[in-house]
A and B are shown apart, each in its own frame.
Chain A
Amino acid sequence: MIFSDALRSIRKDFSKAFFYWLIFVLTTMFIYLFYNISMSDPSVNPLNDTGNMITYVMIIVIILCSIDILFANDFYVKPKGKDLAVRLICGGRFIQIASFLMIQTILLLVLAIPLGIALSYLCIPGVNAILAMSNHGFAVTAHPEAALNATVIILYVVFWIVLLNLSFAYRNAVGLLMNPSTITGSTGEDTFNVAFIPRKAKQIASALLFVLPIVVIYMNRNLAVIAAIAGLVGLNGCFKHIIVPWLNKRVSGKWIEQPRMVAALGFVRRDLIVLKNNIFLFLACAIILVSMLVNSLDNDIAMMTILLSYLVMTFLQALALMFKFGTEVSLRRRLYMTLNHIGYMHEDQEAIVKKEVKYVYGFILAITVFYVFNILFAYTLAGDLSWKLSLALLAGAIVPLLFCQFVNLFLYRKAVFPKLKDEEDAQRINAE
């Protein structure tokens, strides 16, 4: 019974299940490939040689993969909240609901892990071809232990994440059933409100803290990682003291005459508050790995591993952003119905969706390019990095975001403009 319900649930939310499955395939691919790289060189042993840079990268990578799976799981589980609530009210026990979700996840995992390993295995000649170009004689070989390690790590992470998310859903499911429209969350206000500091001073300090680290990177490239982290603190301040207040002022002031902008920017403001942590994670991932990469240019294995980590991690973090954004907008159908009641036409609503997605991703792209470009440019100017590699790394951060923007636009439209069969019927009958 639970098994057939779980299958039905996957079929019902097929597009969400597909993206959830895709995350499993990608994380399996990457962890498997990573293990193979590290196991192919006897000088690199991430499990014993804790001082090795690759060990640090591996820890970062596994943490980021786990965060990614967490967001993917949230994206998949959250819309099932009502389903879970009904099961709870009907007397479902925790173990039954856990089984309902666990069966779905395990089914997707069973389909994802072998494919991930197979695809990763097929990527090894490509990785070797890139390594051969650098002429240092190192080649990646496939190791059976890598498949086992990757599988164990993925299963372990997924098991705990499903339980963690389920506990959250368990507590909130009934409340959700009672009042599904309630949005709770931060309004972007200060957690530690330092009211005695004038607002202008906070704004200037935040802007300086965001921009000055770039100057530091140009002056001393070795400080790239620390400066970039300081820049993130500055960005956090800019969020609270500049961006959100600026949006507040514009939405109810200058742009009040433009109905599409009023609606779209209100949504953008909410999105930025909801996505803030993901944006930071994406930036941190891109900046830290780029900085580590440019500091490892003299070590081919480390460079190759970090380069690979950078490319896959920016992609996975962009996917995490996409999932978070997708989860947020999947609950917006009601809001669009309200816009319809107020008098926004379908074409206005389409334009609002496009504007919102464009502005959210535009913002993320702008701040990412600002930091990653400057770090890369500083190294390229000093001759440490070739222009080609710099551009490839920059593209490594931009392309995943553009891909996710496209997917989010598709998911958003699907969530807020479902096909209205009755309306179509009525139009057909009236035409007849």
Chain B
Amino acid sequence: MSENIVLEAKHLKKIYNYRTPNAFEALHDVNFQVYDGDFVAIMGPSGSGKSTFINTISTIDVPTGGRVFINQKEIRTMTENEIGKFRYENLGFIFQDFNLLDTHTMFENIAMPLSLAHVNKEDVAPRVNALAEEMGIQDLLQKFPYECSGGQRQRVAICRALINRPHIIVADEPTGNLDSANSAELMGILQKLNQQGVTIVMVTHDPLITSYSTRVIYIKDGNIEKELAKGNMSQDEYFQKIVEMNSEESREILKK
């Protein structure tokens, strides 16, 4: 991990239903940095603002206040076209419910970011096939998502996220719909990618999944409450610390 900041949030604020009686502040004045090659896990109880946070820092949602910088460039100063281009060139998204297009075959789903990046058509099939083979899904390419299992769909979603060789992968509960074997396999893939230099920002509520990261931040009620770095700890020690951090928070709730 280098000291280059690839993603930064300054005084980030998100208010839903602003200026209505139902206004709700999901994020309060959050400051946060992601370094090049980082593997950050974002944890927190349900409704703490994890997904709002990840959506806001990854250009999916618009912050109500504060600023987000990606590669030192403020998102607000970017045009819609620049944001779109930025997404397919630099970001890869992985979601809990895969977010594949059920109307398109697996091949077409994976090839879409290449199409957006105007990759030469002769290069599309070899790149898709090579990545599919690496992920063990080469036999599924002509199938539609609804014809495949959850694990297979998530592999395709990973292929789609990786096909443009992005610098940052944003994953929102990527193992939420997977069994333990598929979850471990997926985390192995993400860990390997991180070792190859890809920056990963992942939301999860599972301490075991978090233990694959190099840093964890704990969000509660729209604020960053705690931060923990893996440092020289083994994965098992790191896991213990994450469990302790989580249980401390849970015990505080019980005391109330």
Asked if B116 contacts A342 (CB within 8 A), the reply is yes
Contacts known (A259-B112, A262-B108); A430 close to B76, Cβ less than 8 A: yes
Asked if A345 contacts B120 (CB within 8 A), the reply is no
Q: A298 at interface (Cβ–Cβ under 8 A)? A: no
Contacts known (A257-B118, A259-B112); A181 close to B88, Cβ less than 8 A: no
Residues of chain A within 8 A (CB-CB) of B105 are: 248, 251-252
Distance between Cα atoms of A262 and B116 in the complex (Å): 10
Residues of chain A from 402 to 428 with CB closer than 8 A to chain B in the complex: 421-423, 425-427
Contacts known (A181-B97, A182-B146, A251-B108); A422 close to B115, Cβ less than 8 A: no
Asked if A184 contacts B146 (CB within 8 A), the reply is yes
Residues of chain A within 8 A (CB-CB) of B99 are: 334, 337-338, 341
Q: A1 at interface (Cβ–Cβ under 8 A)? A: no
Residue-by-residue, is A249-288 near B (CB-CB < 8 Å gives 1, otherwise 0)?
A: 0011110111100110011011000000000000000000
Q: A343 at interface (Cβ–Cβ under 8 A)? A: yes
Interface SS majority for chain A: helix
B81 nearest CB neighbor, chain A only: A345
Q: Which of A187, A254, A334 contacts B121 (CB 8 A)?
A: A254
Which stretch (B62-70, B195-203, B209-217) binds chain A?
B62-70
Q: Which of B95, B100, B112 contacts A262 (CB 8 A)?
A: B112
Residues of chain A within 8 A (CB-CB) of B100 are: 338
Residues of chain A within 8 A (CB-CB) of B136 are: none
Asked if B112 contacts A263 (CB within 8 A), the reply is yes
Residues of chain B from 94 to 111 with CB closer than 8 A to chain A in the complex: 95, 97, 99-105, 107-108, 111
Q: B251 at interface (Cβ–Cβ under 8 A)? A: no
Interface residues on chain A, number (Cβ under 8 Å)? 42
Residues of chain B within 8 A (CB-CB) of A266 are: 101, 103-104, 108
Say how far B147's CB is from chain A's closest CB, in angstroms.
Answer: 8
Say how far A174's CB is from chain B's closest CB, in angstroms.
Answer: 18
Distance between Cα atoms of A404 and B141 in the complex (Å): 35
Residues of chain B within 8 A (CB-CB) of A427 are: 62
Interface contacts (Cβ under 8 Å), in number, total: 112
Q: B80 at interface (Cβ–Cβ under 8 A)? A: yes
Interface residues on chain B, number (Cβ under 8 Å)? 48
Q: Which of B64, B88, B108 contacts A252 (CB 8 A)?
A: B108
Say how far B122's CB is from chain A's closest CB, in angstroms.
Answer: 10
Residue-by-residue, is B73-87 near A (CB-CB < 8 Å gives 1, otherwise 0)?
A: 000100011011101
Contacts known (A342-B116, A344-B116); A426 close to B60, Cβ less than 8 A: no
Asked if B116 contacts A426 (CB within 8 A), the reply is no
Residues of chain A within 8 A (CB-CB) of B95 are: 341
Asked if A343 contacts B62 (CB within 8 A), the reply is no
Contacts known (A259-B112, A344-B84, A429-B18); A267 close to B103, Cβ less than 8 A: yes
Residues of chain A within 8 A (CB-CB) of B80 are: 345-347
- 6 A-B interface contacts by CB (under 8 A): A252-B105, A257-B115, A335-B101, A343-B116, A345-B81, A345-B83
Which residues of A are at the interface with B, using a C-beta cutoff of 8 A? 181-184, 187, 248, 251-254, 256-259, 262-263, 266-267, 269-270, 334-335, 337-348, 421-423, 425-427, 429-430
Which residues of B are at the interface with A, using a C-beta cutoff of 8 A? 15-19, 60-65, 76, 80-81, 83-85, 87-89, 93, 95, 97, 99-105, 107-108, 111-116, 118-121, 124-125, 144, 146-147, 160
13 more A-B residue pairs beyond the given contacts A259-B112, A341-B99, A343-B89, with a C-beta to C-beta distance below 8 A: A252-B105, A256-B111, A259-B116, A263-B112, A266-B103, A337-B99, A341-B95, A422-B61, A422-B62, A423-B61, A426-B63, A427-B62, A429-B18
